[in-house]
Amino acid sequence: MFGIVLALLSAFSFGLSQIIVRKNLEKSNYIHISLTVTIMGNVILWPLAIAFTDLTTINTEALTLFIIAGMLAPAIARLFYFKGMQTAGISTNATIFATYSLYTTIIAVLLLGETLSPENWAGMLCIIVGVIFVGKNLNGNTKTATVSKKGLIIPVLGSLAIAASQIVRKEALNIYSQPLLGVAVGYTTSLVVYLVILFFYKDKNRPKYCQNTLKTFWKPGVGITIGWLLSFLALNQTMVSIVAPVLQTELLFILLLGYIFLRKLERFTPKLVASALLIVAGVILISIN
């Protein structure tokens, strides 16, 4: 029960933070936003990790898995998430990202030999139908940009990164149950990835990273960090099959808070809400053992 509460709080923290990012999205670019969020995470997480982790018992195998998981998510997934906000809008982007449980299940079946129940198959069907509905109702979902089906590629790739990361992260926690250190390592890995991108990827049209970006996005950076920390703690308390669907309530929080605070930027149509609910229902069904 405690793990479910932690996962629910994590979903709310993620959802609220994404709303803040979307509201200020035009003030920066997705790489600088990702960097700011990651900087705040490192500042917050490493003191906690050092204080509450016995560093003399570090397991190198688990540490390697934490690094791999961190490269997938938050590093790659976060870049795609914020870029997806620009190409598809927050509501559509979040809806597509919520499908990562489908990919987690497919990976588990192909690589781990797991079998699916009728409920699992029904859940996969719900998710697929929900995504199809999203694709057919792209026009009019955002008031600030035209959304094309090509714009969905970015959130799809991001959700794949999250799916792979979650499997690797859970295995690392099974080997070495230190969620604070795990999420801190993931954030440091992400920071290295973003710095390398900024160093090698030169774009004359992209403004330099400045203090205004830090002032604008440090708050969602704190909120997202709290969300990641709570999700790690939830995975440490409860099975991933239980935590995963609860975390997907982030989508519902985004739709609710977005409708309240972002109505001038995006349209939250009944069809999109229905698609999101169908995907959430699918995630719940796909997680039934």
Q: Would you tell me how many other CB atoms lie within 10 Å of the CB of residue 100? A: 27
Q: Which domain holds residue 136?
A: 2-286
Looking at residues 195-219, what average pLDDT do you find? 87
Task: pLDDT band for 112, please (50, 70, 90 cuts).
Answer: low
Quick one: what percent of the chain has pLDDT higher than 70? 93
Write the CB contacts of 264 (distance below 8 Å, at least 6 apart in sequence): 143
- Indicate the SS3 state at residue 68: helix
Mean pLDDT of the chain: 87
Q: Is residue 223 pLDDT above 70, yes or no?
A: yes
For 114-125, how does the pLDDT look when each residue is reduced to its tens digit (9 = 90+)?
788 888 899 889
Looking at residues 171-178, what average pLDDT do you find? 90
CB-based contact 23:262 (threshold 8 Å): yes
Q: How far apart are CA 251 and CA 182, in angstroms?
A: 25
Q: Is residue 250 pLDDT above 80, yes or no?
A: yes
Q: Is residue 233 pLDDT above 70, yes or no?
A: yes
* Number of domains making up the chain: 1
Q: Is residue 100 pLDDT above 90, yes or no?
A: no
Question: Side chain identity at 220, as an amino acid letter?
Answer: P
Looking at residues 150-160, what average pLDDT do you find? 87
Write the CB contacts of 46 (distance below 8 Å, at least 6 apart in sequence): 184, 188
Q: Cis bond leading into 74, ω under 30°? A: yes
| Span of 79-83, 128-132, 146-150, 260-264 with lowest mean pLDDT | 146-150
Q: How far apart are CA 32 and CA 206, in angstroms?
A: 10
For 136-154, how does the pLDDT look when each residue is reduced to its tens digit (9 = 90+)?
766 545 554 556 667 788 9
Q: Is residue 244 pLDDT above 60, yes or no?
A: yes
Q: Is residue 187 pLDDT above 70, yes or no?
A: yes
Q: Is residue 195 pLDDT above 70, yes or no?
A: yes
CB-based contact 81:158 (threshold 8 Å): yes
For 55-67, how does the pLDDT look when each residue is reduced to its tens digit (9 = 90+)?
888 999 999 999 9
Confidence at residue 132, expressed as pLDDT on a 0 to 100 scale: 84
